[in-house]
Structures are given as C-alpha cells and as structure tokens.
Structure 1
Amino acid sequence: MRPKQTLFLGLILLVPVLAFLFLKSFGTNRFALPTYLPDSVDSTQVDGKWQRDTVFHQLQDYSFPSQTGRIIGQKDLKDGLYVTSFFYTTCPQDCAQRNSQLTRVQEKFRLEPRVRLVSYTVNPAQDSVSVLERYAERYGAIAGKWFFLTGDKNQLNRLLTEEYRLPALTGVAPTIQHSQQLFLVDRNHRVRGIYDGTKAREIDRLITEITVLLYTYDHNNEPRT
C-alpha cells in the first residue's frame, strides 16, 4: 500500500475516535448541573497541591401535614428528586401562574415515580389541611405526586430562612418577599436548580434538568452521599 493511501486510511479511522472523544467531553461539560447554596469552602491537599472544595448545603428533614392529612417528610421523597415552591392560597396572580406551570411538570413526569412536587404555604394560619385539599383539587394535584404542605409557623419560618435562605416570614400574614423561585432538589437533598416559576421557558429548563438528573441516576453518574 502506498504511503499516501496509508495516511488517508489512518485519517478515516481516526475521525470517529476523535468525534466520540469530543462528544463525550462536550456532553459531560454541557449537562453537568451546578449545585447551589454553598455552606463553606474547605481546602484539601491533592498530589501535594492545595485545592479549594466547596461544601454545599444539604437540606435537613422536616415533616408537615399535606392536603390529605398525611405527614410528609424527606424520607417519603427518597431515591428521587422534587421541585419545591412556596405559595399561599389567597395569593393573587403570581401563585396561580407558578402552579399552572407546575401542572406542566406534573404531567410531563406523571409516570415517573421519582419526580414529585412539594409546595409549602407561607400562611399556615389560614391554609389548613382542608383549605389545601380544595386548593390542590383546583390544580389537579395527583395524590402522592404533588404535596401541598402546611404546619407550625416557626418550623416553616426556619425551613424558609435556614434551608432555602429566603426572606423571613413574620406575623400572621405572609410577609415573605413573595418569591417566584422554584427549587430542584436532588436525592442527596441539595439544590441543583433555581428557576423563575412564572416563565414558561424557565419551566422548560426545569423539565430538561430533571431529565438530566434522572439520566445520571440511571447511569450511576450522580454519587449518593
């Protein structure tokens, strides 16, 4: 075989290998989801060199009554992920917008048991279990899929401020700066995405990133802590 033919054949064989390596690298970098809510930065020594390692907040367990009266905690959400939102039943337009968008997420993952929705009221004095039951029906919440939670004001206040780091809830009326944010929480109870729940394109991004996390779980690429 002539040298030019040998070189040409070698290049033909090399192209698929290079393409595979490029796509693998691109895919890994493109779809690696960030982690939010850092707690601290530690320094560790690797091969004689100091590296900074961020320690991210891991949400602590809380238990609250749901719209069915069932007590729900993180133990009930294990091995999957969930989308957190905050609302109150007499909220005007923005809560309705968020909940309408969340119905899209519920429908998209209707048959995926690892995906759930968890909505906490910021006005527990008014939003009793019976009120939440009627409210959940309004949005077609599927039992065991979408939980509307109420409970002790102090515990909810701590959840809002210390776990999700939102502005404080004080008094009887909801005085929290009404957040439009949704939070994607992974199976290690860490926040992996924050979204504007009133915008359709943000919900599209949320749906995509849920799909990415599920893919990493299925392929053992997301470590469990």
Structure 2
Amino acid sequence: MPTIPSAKKIMMEALRNNLDVDINTLHAKTFELLISYRSKYYERRVNELLLEVDLPVKIRNKVKKKILEPIVVDGKEYSNFMEEVSRRVSQAFQPISGSIAELCAERELIKNGLIKGINFVRRKERADFTVYYPNITECKVKHRIEVKNVSLRERATRGLAFDGDSLFGFFNQLKEFTESNVKILDDLCSKTGGYCYVPPKLLEQIPYRGLRFRLNTQFGKDMSIFVREGQMPK
C-alpha cells in the first residue's frame, strides 16, 4: 500500500466538490489532504505494530523494545521502527507536495487558455514550466517559470537563485521576505523581465513591496498575455 496517494489523486480529491475553486484555496485544500494522509499512515503503522505486541504483559517495555529494534522493510534495513516510518513519509511527502504546487500552477495556465504541449511544457529546459510565444513549434520567445511550494529556500544550497524568468509559489513564511531578500528577488526578476508571484495574503503583509511582485492569482492571465503578445505585461 502506498505511503501517500499521488499528487494527481490528491488534486482530484480536492476538486471533487468545487471545480471553480481559486488557486490558493485549492493549494490549501490539497495540503490539508496531504497532512491527513500522512497522519493516517502513521496511525496505520502504529496499529500494525501494536497487533504484534502482547499488551497485557509489561506493555511499556515491550512497546519500547519493539519500536527500537532493527527492522527490514521491502528489503531495506532500518535501525528502528520510527526511522522507517519517518524516512518513508518524508521521502513521499516532499515530492508529492512539490508536484501538487506544480499541478496548481498548470491548472491556472490551462484555465487561461494555454494548451499543454503547444503553448507550454512542464519540466523541460531546466525549468518547471516553459511558456512559448506564439507556440512551441514557431517559438520566437519563451518564458521559464520555477514553482516553489511554501518556502523560498526549499533548496538551501542555492540561496534565493531560481531556474527561470519568473518565480511562482504559495509562500506562507513572511519572515523570509526581508528587505534584502525582496531586493534580491526584485533584481533577479527585473533582469529576466519576469515576476515573483506570491499569495494575496502574503503580499498584503510584506512591508517591503518589490516592483516585480505580483499576486499568484494573476499568473495564468499574465502567461496568456505572453502567449498572445510575446512579452510580459507591464
């Protein structure tokens, strides 16, 4: 049984009751589902463990011993139960969470009339998305987008650098948007002609408003303009 369902399945579940939900509400709903599935996985693994324990006899020592003894799962040995649980969950959680953010961005592109494989592609040319003017076969100009989930520094070794002309995300950590960080992102986007797309709630709270910062709800419309005109809106 998979640790957590795929990003596509979680997205479909989040859209089940409302296909017209806005992008930030959709992302929040998928994240809630992701957390729920992770909790259910932990609970299932603990239940499986307790089924093997003779509860009436010195329960505390037996549970402790069982949790801390080495185990082998799918041919891989772990030092103890909790190492296996936490590693499997983290390995599944992070890529699925990132894929959900990309699927949310992709949905915005499609909602605004862009066609995958014609107007844009995903995960090519060292970018999460590449948008083409006027299309991929007659390309005159392209715009590359990096998608992040909730943190600017998801890959700490790269600092604030990103692969693309624009940065899109569901950032929720206001402390990351210091005056110096806002200036760095502003300068990076100014050089590429792109924007840093952030959630409305965060943009309202940032005290240092950058010139290249826009609402992530404008992302799809801006890319639609790029496909029609070959340049980003001013």
TM > 0.5 between the two?
Answer: no
Smaller-chain TM-score range? under 0.3
Question: Quick one: higher RCO (CA 8 Å, sep 6+), 1 or 2?
Answer: 1
Structure richer in strand, relative to its length: 1
Normalising to structure 1: TM-score of the pair? 0.24
TM-score (norm 2): 0.23
